[in-house]
């Protein structure tokens, strides 16, 4: 399973959390919302289809440096 966070994914997740970036389309926004609300077992299931979005949401929720790291990815400064 590839969980590389692309600049587009980073921007979508940052936007969802009001931390910059740009908004995703309605389907992707609903997927991000589902990941955001999911318990660990269901988040693991969502990771089967959307590993990069799950990785980005987990980063912003649980990593103290998550916003900074996603911002760097979104701006093309680093690869995930």
State the total domains in the chain.
Answer: 1
Residue 24: count other Cβ atoms within 10 Å of its Cβ: 19
Q: State yes or no: pLDDT of 78 exceeds 90.
A: no
CB burial string 40-76: b at 16+ within 10 A, e below: eeebeebbeebbbbbbbbbbbeeeeebbebbbbbbee
Contact 25, 46 (CB under 8 A): no
Is 11 part of any domain? yes
DSSP state of 38: -
Is 79 part of any domain? no
Tell me the average pLDDT across 4-14.
97
Weakest mean pLDDT among 1-5, 7-11, 13-17: 1-5
* pTM for this predicted structure: 0.92
Is 70 part of any domain? yes
Is 29 part of any domain? yes
What is the model's pLDDT at position 1?
43
Structural domain of 45: 7-74
Residue that has been written with the tokens 């916003």 in this structure = 67
């Amino acid at each position: 399973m590839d969980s590389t966070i692309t600049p587009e994914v980073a921007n979508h997740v940052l936007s969802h959390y009001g931390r910059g970036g740009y908004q995703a389309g309605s389907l992707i926004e609903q997927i991000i919302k589902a990941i955001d609300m999911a318990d660990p077992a269901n988040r693991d299931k969502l990771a089967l289809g959307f590993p990069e979005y799950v990785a980005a949401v987990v980063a912003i929720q649980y990593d103290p440096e998550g916003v900074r790291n996603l911002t760097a990815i979104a701006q093309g400064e680093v690869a995930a």
